[in-house]
Homo-oligomer: A and B are copies of this chain.
Amino acid sequence: MEITNTMLTNDQFFEERKNVLSQWKTGKFVNFDETVAYQKLIPNEKRFGNKLAKAKKEGITLIQPRAGVALHEEHIKLLQYLEDEGEADLLPTTIDSYTRLNRYKEAEAGITQSRETGRSMLNGFPAVNYGVDICRVVTSSLKNPVQVRHGTPDARLLTEISIAGGFTSYEGGGISYNIPYSKNHSLEKTIAHWQYTDRLVGMYEEAGVSINREPFGPLTGTLIPACISNSVAIIESLLAATQGVKDLTVGYGQCGNLIQDVAAIRSLNILMRAYLDRFGFTDVRVTTVFHQWMGGFPQDESKSFGVISWGAAAAALAKVTKVIVKTPHEAMGVPTKEANAAGLRATKQVISMLKDQDFLEIPAVITESEIIMSEMKCILDKVEELGKGDYAMGAIAAFEAGVIDVPFAPSRFNAGKVMPARDNDGAIRLLEVGNLPFTQDLKDYHKRKLEQRGAFEKRPVSFQMVIDDVYAIGKGFLVGRPKKH
């Protein structure tokens, strides 16, 4: 299967669509024209893209939780609670893991078991099983825009049902919802699946209905160097724009060093615009999303508030358009609605307090972002070279060659040679560069930074640092220092 970064033809698309809509019984109730009419009735302030554009213009940061439960009545109550008590500006519908893997029968069993036990036995909302009408009941019961958030390698049917169901934003991408979320899906396949999703969004856009699209920035959420996630974001944005997507939100997962986090957003802002423009997508709107720390959390709820608030602070100082909020239950399990609202309120307080402070142009941030941008350019140039100018082919080849390589990813299509570790200031550097196509200067820079840490800690630079860093925030630190330090 050869895949190129070109817009799907109507023939290709509608041929595939028949198949997609028959994957589960709810597919047959999706109707494009009727959906266009339905979506056009959704008031402006409840459209995701509009609210983001307004926030961007005003220079403020919106807050959004993650949330989803098995039973739709409970799901509505949950989301209403989060907008009323959590002061959420944007709402999610997090999809359960069976749906993410197209295991609709198991999801059905999960719904049944949840009704029986009175506990949500699914870790999210099984939108496909519920189908268009129930999704519309959900989206129309809320005051704020709602987005589908998931982690689905083949999300074609889910996309059809979500948009028909009144959602106005959709997360994911052929790389970002494959490599961290799958073991066996090839990139050829998932990029093709997401071309379908993006083309569908493009067709709605052409019909006058704009659906916001958000590549998943944080990848595996664990010590991901900004150059890697930013490069993936740019590639997925180019792929989406090629299919006609016009409204993009690109993201990044917090690492914890403030300078580096703000620099990551700065470099994402600059190069994203540059690449879109270069390929003629000057009319594509771009907003940004910052994810509060996505790796292991502390067990203690008060300490979690500390982590959450620090994420909120970095988001505000980086002037992102929205921030995805964690909860004080993060280390334990899917949060109660109270815990979820608590994380939101802590975040809202910090975000609002800091909204008039801006760190994007301080010298240390500029310096760090220039490093990130040269790393990104190394990667993206090589992707372009490998794909002979085609970013779909280039991405596939790049993963094969380890030119893009996501730490801790479960996918067997990921090289897994790159190893990140924190430097002495807590910024993320590379202990193993693997096949990332860095210049010697950049390689030396990473090496030097880690050797500084090694010297300070009086131990060799080794994989033990990586392990220590993975646990560090859960144990109350950023840098995983050796015991007795």
A481's nearest neighbour on chain B, judged by CB, is B356
Within 8 A of B (CB), among A344-371: 344-350, 352-357, 362-364
In the complex, identify which listed stretch (A30-38, A279-287, A296-304) lies at the interface while the others stay far away: A296-304
A423's nearest neighbour on chain B, judged by CB, is B356
- Render A49-90 as a binary contact track against B, CB cut-off 8 A, 1 for contact: 000000000000000000000000000000000000000000
Chain B: minimal CB distance from A267 (Å):
19
Structural contact, B310 and A476, CB atoms closer than 8 A = no
- Give the residue of B302, B353, B478 whose beta carbon is less than 8 angstroms from that of A346: B302
A349's nearest neighbour on chain B, judged by CB, is B306
Structural contact, A310 and B307, CB atoms closer than 8 A = no
Which residues of B sit under 8 angstroms from A355, Cβ to Cβ? 477-478
Cβ-based interface call for A323 (8 A) = no
Chain B: minimal CB distance from A357 (Å):
6
Cβ-based interface call for A256 (8 A) = yes
A307's nearest neighbour on chain B, judged by CB, is B349
Structural contact, B350 and A309, CB atoms closer than 8 A = yes
Structural contact, A479 and B347, CB atoms closer than 8 A = no
Within 8 A of B (CB), among A441-485: 473, 476-479
Cβ-based interface call for A258 (8 A) = yes
Cβ-based interface call for A225 (8 A) = no
Structural contact, A348 and B303, CB atoms closer than 8 A = yes
Cβ-based interface call for A343 (8 A) = yes
Given A345-B300, A473-B353, are A312 and B306 also a contact pair (CB < 8 Å)? Answer: yes
CA distance A411 to B372 in the complex (A): 55
- Give the residue of B303, B309, B341, B353 whose beta carbon is less than 8 angstroms from that of A256: B353
- Give the residue of B256, B302, B425, B473 whose beta carbon is less than 8 angstroms from that of A345: B302
- Give the residue of B302, B476, B477 whose beta carbon is less than 8 angstroms from that of A305: B302
Structural contact, A309 and B305, CB atoms closer than 8 A = yes
Which residues of B sit under 8 angstroms from A313, Cβ to Cβ? 309-310, 313
Cβ-based interface call for A424 (8 A) = yes
Structural contact, B342 and A310, CB atoms closer than 8 A = no
Which residues of B sit under 8 angstroms from A345, Cβ to Cβ? 300, 302-303, 306
Cβ-based interface call for A426 (8 A) = yes
Structural contact, B257 and A357, CB atoms closer than 8 A = yes
A477's nearest neighbour on chain B, judged by CB, is B352
Structural contact, A310 and B350, CB atoms closer than 8 A = yes
- Give the residue of B348, B363, B424, B476 whose beta carbon is less than 8 angstroms from that of A348: B476
A361's nearest neighbour on chain B, judged by CB, is B364
Q: For the complex of A and B, list the 3 residue pairs with the smallest distance between their C-beta atoms, beginning with the closest.
A: A309-B309, A306-B349, A302-B345
Q: List 14 A-B contacts (CB under 8 A).
A: A302-B305, A302-B349, A303-B345, A303-B346, A305-B349, A306-B350, A310-B313, A349-B476, A352-B476, A352-B477, A353-B476, A356-B426, A357-B425, A362-B364
